[in-house]
Amino acid sequence: MVPAHSDELKNEVYKLRYQVYCIETGFEKTELYPGGIEFDEYDSHSFHYLILHRKSQTYAATTRLILPDTSNHERLFPIEKYTEIDNIELIENISRENLAEASRFCVSKDFKRRRNEAGTLTGIESNWIDIFTEKERRIFPHITIGLLACLIKTSSENNIHYWYAVMEPSLARFFLSLGIYFVPIGPLANYHGKRRPYIIKMSDLLDGVAKKDMDYWNMMSNMGQYTG
């Protein structure tokens, strides 16, 4: 797990996002990013991570946590601009200082080799549980869990207790298989494909994982160092 602190590493993040969002999935238009890097207005107040595949020394995946804008706490997150949130009661008492958005969660095509994975952001297709053998299902989540561990570490270091997220329902079901229940807070929207807005409390996420698999909990929380 590599924190993208430097401009050089951030450029690797943007290049990987261009590959996934523009070339592989077509969710973003290539002509908008002539330099072959995909970035937006939220990157300036986001914390970025990369997953490095040691053997090949290539970056397998990336994600970011969009932090509250310290100069304007009322600035909208992408989820609030591009989706409809109708479960207002669930979020109205959450301090925006403790709220962030998990975003740009994607895996390189080089690590999506099985059938039905092409064209997905994460390599998790709607019937993923039927595609993989039992052994593969035990191994497959490691990149995704690594990305979650990056977000958890960043959240702990920045006093973030809740995450917004916009994701495909298939990814939400995949997380549920790990004991992670993202709470839907609105209807499906056409945002990088058909996706739904969700929210989760970080401590609830870790508690759910602990009930399912302590090995995963240890990885995500760094042996309990980050517990929400």
pLDDT tens readout for residues 187-200: 999 887 789 999 99
CA 21 centroid distance within chain = 14
Who's near 117: CB < 8 A, 6+ residues apart? 123, 124, 125
Q: Across the chain, what does the average pLDDT equal? A: 86
Kindly state the percentage of the chain with pLDDT values over 70.
Answer: 86
Greater confidence, 162 or 69?
162
The two beta strands, 189-190 and 99-107, are: unpaired
Which fold, 2-221? Answer: Aminopeptidase (3.40.630)
Asked if residues 63 and 144 have their Cβ atoms less than 8 Å apart, the reply is no
- Phi, psi at residue 94, to the nearest 5°? -90, 125
pLDDT confidence tier of residue 5, bands split at 50, 70 and 90? very high
What mean pLDDT is predicted for residues 209-220?
92
Asked if residues 186 and 87 have their Cβ atoms less than 8 Å apart, the reply is yes
CB atoms within 10 A of CB 25: 17
- pLDDT, residue 141, reads 62
pLDDT confidence tier of residue 70, bands split at 50, 70 and 90? confident
- pLDDT, residue 55, reads 83
- The predicted-structure confidence for 72-90, as pLDDT tens digits, reads as follows 877 899 999 999 999 999 8
Question: Which CA distances in Å does 114 have to 4, 26, 125, 131, 190?
Answer: 29, 20, 10, 9, 26
- pLDDT, residue 47, reads 97
Q: Residue 95 above 60 pLDDT?
A: yes
- pLDDT, residue 113, reads 52
List, in sequence order, every residue forming a beta bridge with 50; answer none if it has no partner.
2, 62
Rounded Cα distance between 127 and 132, Å, is 9
Kindly state the percentage of the chain with pLDDT values over 90.
Answer: 61
The two beta strands, 99-107 and 162-167, are: parallel
- pLDDT, residue 197, reads 97
- pLDDT, residue 174, reads 87
List, in sequence order, every residue forming a beta bridge with 197; answer none if it has no partner.
166
pLDDT confidence tier of residue 227, bands split at 50, 70 and 90? confident
- pLDDT, residue 8, reads 97
- The predicted-structure confidence for 138-151, as pLDDT tens digits, reads as follows 444 678 889 999 99
| Chain position carrying tokens 């804008």 | 69
- The predicted-structure confidence for 9-26, as pLDDT tens digits, reads as follows 999 999 999 999 999 888
Q: Residue 65 above 90 pLDDT?
A: yes
Burial 107-141 (b: 16+ CB within 10 A, else e): bbbebbeeeebeebbbbbbeebeebeeeeeeeebb
Q: Residue 137 above 70 pLDDT?
A: no
Q: Residue 112 above 90 pLDDT?
A: no
